[in-house]
Amino acid sequence: MKWVYLLESLAHPTQHYVGLTDNVSKRLTAHNAGQSAHTAKHKPWKLVAAIRLADDSHARAFEKYLKSGSGRAFAKRRFL
């Protein structure tokens, strides 16, 4: 089982990040500690949404979708 999660920067509210993990709270702590090069410059982050999917391949596909243009529009309408 995997989690697809959406973060929003508290310092730069227009900045968002979509990721995939086994443990959302551990991953959020890592992002806020600056352990990810992609998110370090916009920390701190807050969790906006986390969706748990039983099938890993569906989780990877949903993460990929949320990173696409139409997926970003979907996330903006539904989660932000």
Write out pLDDT tens, residues 36-68: 999 999 999 999 999 999 999 999 999 999 999
Mean pLDDT of the chain: 97
Per the structure, the complete domain to which residue 73 belongs is given by 2-78
Domain count of the fold of the chain: 1
Over residues 13-37, the mean pLDDT reads: 97
CATH number of the structural domain spanning residue 72: 3.40.1440
Contact 20, 53 (CB under 8 A): no
Q: Report pLDDT for 74.
A: 96
Verdict on whether the full-model pTM lies above 0.85: yes
Q: What is the pLDDT of residue 10?
A: 98
3-state secondary structure at position 56:
helix
